[in-house]
Amino acid sequence: MSEEVDLFVIGAGSGGVRAARIASGYGAKVMIAEEFRVGGTCVIRGCVPKKLLVYAAHFSEDFEDAENYGWEVARPTFDWARLIANKDKEIDRLNLAYKSTLSKAGVELIEARAELVDRNTISVAGRQVTAEIILIATGSWPEMPKLPGIEHAISSNECFHLAKLPERVVVVGGGYIALEFAGIFNGLGSKTTVLYRGEQVLRGFDHDVRNFLADELRKKGISVRCRTDVARIDKAAGALAVTLGDGTAIDCDQVLYATGRRPLSRNMGLEKVGVGLDDVGAIKVDGWSKTSVPNIYAVGDCTNRLNLTPVAIREGHAFADSVFGNKPWMVDHADCPSAVFTQPPVGSVGLSEERARERYGEVEIYRESFRPMKHTMSGRSERTLMKLVIDRKSQAVVGAHMVGLDAPEIIQTLAIAVKLKATKQQIDQTIAIHPTAAEEFVTMRTPVAAE
């Protein structure tokens, strides 16, 4: 006999959990299924554990910097196993916290894989559940290329569970995941090489950001090699050899492939019930997150719209409000701020200079590069880049970009100004907080010459 619910959610990541909790708060009877752990990519194998490792990697420079601030620091030692064990404890805590949140909200959690039988029926853990509404929130998964020897490489998933810190690491990819892990390994002491087939890392970001960050990564000792293809990976004598397209090889102890992720939509019965997928497997949805089947919705990375955790949460909330709360609204994906937790980090919101020129034609560019105050005494050569992109006609700030200490924290606040279409004159009227790096955003007065 089939059980009946108002909403069945497949996938208990950030978007699915938010949707389930809010829908239950409106009185809906809700079940949610998760085949691995509650929390999804961000909490279990993404943003949260990665940020913890980024914090750890910063200490190597912090110990060095402390000496010029009067501290006598004994030669530090690093224990990878202790870091990973402590990271695991925190992820376990968050997993339990998410479960508790669902339980308190009255949502029934089923820890098993769910598949669609028909447009209203789900098979899960030997049970048949009939749902009026189904929400797919299964996220995405690292995609490994078809390459000789790819079985010797790992994805970002496995980085969090390595038995030991590798002495030499090759990271293949030029996106934010690749560069963040490159910074982690380098900061913790691994000799790190980044290989990217494109002309410059961080494709899609502002060109000044891309070039500036690549230079800063190289200054920190990371070998960043663009326009470089990998031909094969071989294992020999307890190490790995990465053979490049030109026939040369790099010896290393670990190869991380971070060249893309694919929506998790296969083998769920979606095609069988008529849910439309695009050529990469992303679930096609409209602005209301509705699929081609009227009672089936999808949010988060499995839709491949804007693959960021806060976006998935917003989409899940909008879905629940619209379908169960009689408060319809759609998520606005424009001007969404983002961060890259490299070392130094990147913060960005709005349009790159290139995109702004395509959309508005004439733009004004304000740009500053400087040595942050901290490093005037630490002696480190690391610099900060700040950039504002202005629509010349309206004077609206249409893009803001930063590379440097605290960039994500600063851009989060500046994103409000971009979202509200603040003008350069309004930014200029804002009193600076001194001495801070953030004050540069409100004190830049002279646009750079056209390039």
Q: Is the pLDDT of residue 450 over 90?
A: no
Q: Is the pLDDT of residue 365 over 70?
A: yes
434 classed as catalytic: yes
For 15-47, the pLDDT digits (tens) are: 999 999 999 999 999 999 999 899 888 889 899
Topology classification of domain 3-142+262-324? FAD/NAD(P)-binding domain (3.50.50)
CATH class for the region spanning 338-443: alpha beta
Same fold, 3-142+262-324 and 150-259: yes
DSSP 270-295: HHHHT--B-TTSPBP--TTSB-SSTT
Residue position matching structure tokens 């909008």: 318
Q: What pLDDT is attached to residue 451?
A: 56
Structure tokens at 57: 């990697």
Mean of pLDDT over the chain = 95
Q: What pLDDT is attached to residue 2?
A: 72
Question: Are the C-beta atoms of 252 and 240 separated by less than 8 Å?
Answer: yes
Question: Are the C-beta atoms of 24 and 107 separated by less than 8 Å?
Answer: yes
Question: Are the C-beta atoms of 289 and 318 separated by less than 8 Å?
Answer: yes
Distance set, CA 431 to CA 337, 363, 397, 439 (Å): 23, 24, 17, 8
The CATH homologous superfamily for domain 150-259 is FAD/NAD(P)-binding domain (3.50.50.60)
Taking residues 137-159, report their average pLDDT: 95
Taking residues 379-392, report their average pLDDT: 95
Q: What pLDDT is attached to residue 40?
A: 87
pLDDT band at 435 (very low <50, low <70, confident <90, very high): very high
Q: What pLDDT is attached to residue 1?
A: 56
Q: What pLDDT is attached to residue 62?
A: 94
Share of the chain above pLDDT 90, in %: 94
Q: Report residue 310: phi and psi, to 5°.
A: -60, -30
Structure tokens at 222: 């990371």
Around 282, how many Cα atoms within 13 Å sit in the side-chain half-sphere? 17
Question: Are the C-beta atoms of 287 and 305 separated by less than 8 Å?
Answer: no
Indicate which residue of 161, 317, 401, 434 is catalytic.
434
Domain ranges, ordered by start, for the chain: 3-142+262-324, 150-259, 338-443
Distance set, CA 358 to CA 301, 363, 381, 396 (Å): 27, 10, 35, 16
**Residue 111 neighbours by CB distance under 10 Å:** 15
Taking residues 325-331, report their average pLDDT: 96
Taking residues 296-319, report their average pLDDT: 96
For 401-423, the pLDDT digits (tens) are: 999 999 999 999 999 999 999 99
Q: What pLDDT is attached to residue 237?
A: 84
Q: What pLDDT is attached to residue 233?
A: 97
Question: Are the C-beta atoms of 372 and 405 separated by less than 8 Å?
Answer: yes
Share of the chain above pLDDT 70, in %: 99
Q: Is the pLDDT of residue 443 over 70?
A: yes
Taking residues 199-218, report their average pLDDT: 97
